[in-house]
Each structure stands twice: as C-alpha cells, then as structure tokens.
Amino acid sequence: MAKNTQQFINAHRDDNFAVHGGSVYDEEITLERVTETLDFLCKVYREDISNNGVSRLHDVEFISRHFDFYRWSPDINTAQSIAKKSTNKVKSRMLNAIPRDKIFLTKYYTKLLSASSVKTAEFNQALYQIPFDEMHLALSDADKLKTELTRFKFTRQQVIAGALSAENNQGKALAKPLVWISEEALHDVLLQGTGVLDVDGDIRYFNVHRNNGIPYDYAIGKREQARYWYFAEVKGILGYGDEIDEKIAIKPQVTFAGNVKQLGLGKLFMVSYDIDGNAYSRLGVLADQGGAFDNNLFQLDMLVDSYRGWRDYHQANKHLPDYSKAWLLLKKH
C-alpha cells in the first residue's frame, strides 16, 4: 500500500488537488516528510519480511521512537451543520454525537455481488462503461467538453430509467453495459466505488471511472443521490486517481479514504480506540477519497474487506467503534 501510494505521488507531482503537504497543517508538514514516511514504511516492511519476523509496525515502542505524532481534532461545527440538513435520522444522530477529541471513524467495503453478463428480470441495471462519445478522450480533454458529452447530461435516476439504452435513443445505445446487476446492488456499488462481482460463476472487479459531475450530497440517502458513476473493469481494488490505469491499488485494513484535497494524499494516520476496556491502535495510509469527504475534516473511512451485504459486514465489524482518536504520523528527522 505504502509503495503503491508513493509511486503515484512520485509520478503525479503536478496533481495539485492531492499531492501536497496538506492545507490544514503548519509548515512542518511537508510533502517531503510524507514521502520520507512512506519510504520508511516500505523499508521496515521489507526488512521484517526478509527476517521472517513480526512486523515492527505492530510494536508501540517502535512507533513512538520513530514517528512524530500530530493530533487530529474533528471539525465539529461542519459535522453539526450537515446533521441539521440531513434527512437521515441515524446519520444526524451520529454526526451530532462526534466527541470533541475523536473523529468519526466509518468503515467501507467492496460489495460482493451476484451479476449477469446479460440483462434479466432480476439483473436489470447495467454498470456502464464511459459513453461512446468520450471513449478516446483523456479526462482533461473530456472536461473541456462538458456541455457536449453524454456523461454530464443525465442524473442517476435518469440512467436507471433507461436514458442510455437503445430503446430510448432511436435504437442506438449511448454507452456499453459492462455487466448487469440489480437496482439495489447498483446503489450500493455506486456508494462503495468498487464491485467484486460473481458474473455467471467468475469473480470480476469493477471500479468507478468517471462521474456525471454532480456532487455527492452528504445530507441525503444513497437512492436519492443524483451523482452517477461510469465504470471500468479492473484487476483489483483501486483507490485515488483520475485515469483508471493510474489509480492506486489499495488493500483492506491498511487503507483510509478521506478528504484528500485538504489533508493531502499519502498521509499515515493512526487511529486508537478501546474495546471492552482494552486499547487498540491501527495504522493506515490515506489513499482513497469520495464525494462524502468534500469539506469534511471530521471523518476517516477505513477499508475493511469485501462482503455480500450489511449483515455480513456488520457481523465482522460490529466490535469496531464509531469514533476514534486520530493522529497524523511522520517519520522523525
């Protein structure tokens, strides 16, 4: 994970959105220190593997000796402002309950879904490839043609109703269906960003590629979101990146999604919490994002694993808390 993120940063120094020291820290937090920290993580990991030993990154004394800690206090005011506007009572309650000394620690997962290579009564919604009119356009070129391109013309609800289908476009579809899933599964995979799909007995991965330009609305539920993503088939789970072949390959348990724009890509965070009176800490790299993190400095989202649905996810993660102390870690000079 650290290696993949480091490679992305080195190859995209001109990505002013994500590749920087962060806009919420002082001048001590530089991009150089972030990359030094990622280099150190990779070095320790390689050495521990070659020595067939337990990872030193699980040793509290080792972490304390080699890293500087910068405490993260949540932006309570923004969280409570969103809570007031939210139509979701559970979300409002959880946002209002964020402690002053802890962040909102959510968990996300990739959906294990059943799918079909052809449209059926059950699997009646497509994961669409980017529309035909921009198949050969780089993202930067496509963004210059927003008003002309199919991708920006339709909301999620319009696509679900068939706006891209041949039936509604004089016999000519506007985008290629990659695979077919149920409508409920579509909402889930649009929210999670990655689908791990059992397609007629074969496991295949699909990742969000480009969206319709409509922002994610934190105050409403997943089915009401107008934001819609087009997909691409990939080899595994992917995180941050614009072009699909440049996105960061990420792994469960060591990846955080968050406000990349303000925090900066590649930050190493430690979250700490109590379970049944016992203290636990875990490390993860900020290597993913999402629309829910725009202007959001009260939350991190931890990638946990792949699950069929809420019941499986909840059973595996119900012991994890909703709020956690959090620190940014940087290698000591």
**pLDDT on residue 53:** 79
Q: What's the chain's average pLDDT?
A: 93
**Tens-digit pLDDT profile for residues 49-101:** 888 878 999 999 999 999 999 999 999 999 999 999 888 899 999 999 999 99
**pLDDT on residue 51:** 87
**pLDDT on residue 28:** 84
Torsion of CA 209, 107, 327, 96, to 10 degrees: 110
**pLDDT on residue 242:** 83
Nearest to 18 by CA among 1, 31, 2, 29: 31
Spatial separation of the C-alpha atoms in residues 196 and 233, rounded to whole Å: 10
Cβ pair 193, 290 in contact under 8 A: yes
**pLDDT on residue 25:** 83
Q: Does residue 1 have a pLDDT over 90?
A: no
Cβ pair 191, 156 in contact under 8 A: no
**pLDDT on residue 132:** 97
Q: Does residue 163 have a pLDDT over 90?
A: yes
Cβ pair 52, 259 in contact under 8 A: no
**Tens-digit pLDDT profile for residues 99-131:** 999 999 999 888 889 999 999 999 999 999 999
Q: Does residue 186 have a pLDDT over 90?
A: yes
Spatial separation of the C-alpha atoms in residues 91 and 88, rounded to whole Å: 5
**pLDDT on residue 308:** 85
Spatial separation of the C-alpha atoms in residues 138 and 234, rounded to whole Å: 18
Q: Does residue 211 have a pLDDT over 90?
A: yes
Mean pLDDT within 161-171: 94
pTM listed for this prediction: 0.79
pLDDT class of 150 with cuts at 50, 70, 90: very high
**pLDDT on residue 244:** 84
Q: Does residue 220 have a pLDDT over 90?
A: no
Mean pLDDT within 144-172: 94
Nearest to 284 by CA among 297, 272, 298, 296: 272
Q: Rounded to the nearest 5°, which phi and psi values hold at 303?
A: -75, 120
Q: Residue 118 corresponds to which tokens in the numbers above? A: 């052809």
CA distances from 5 to 2, 51, 241, 315 (A): 5, 24, 10, 30
**Angle between helical axes of 89-96 and 76-85 (0-180°, round to 10):** 160
DSSP string, 134-166: GTT--HHHHHTTGGGSGGGT--HHHHHTTTTSG
pLDDT class of 42 with cuts at 50, 70, 90: very high
Spatial separation of the C-alpha atoms in residues 304 and 312, rounded to whole Å: 12
Number of Cβ within 10 Å of residue 188's Cβ equals 18
**pLDDT on residue 105:** 97
Cβ pair 86, 218 in contact under 8 A: yes
Q: Which residues contact 2 (CB under 8 A, 6 or more apart)?
A: 38, 41, 42, 45, 268, 285
Q: Does residue 250 have a pLDDT over 90?
A: yes
**pLDDT on residue 322:** 96
**pLDDT on residue 97:** 97
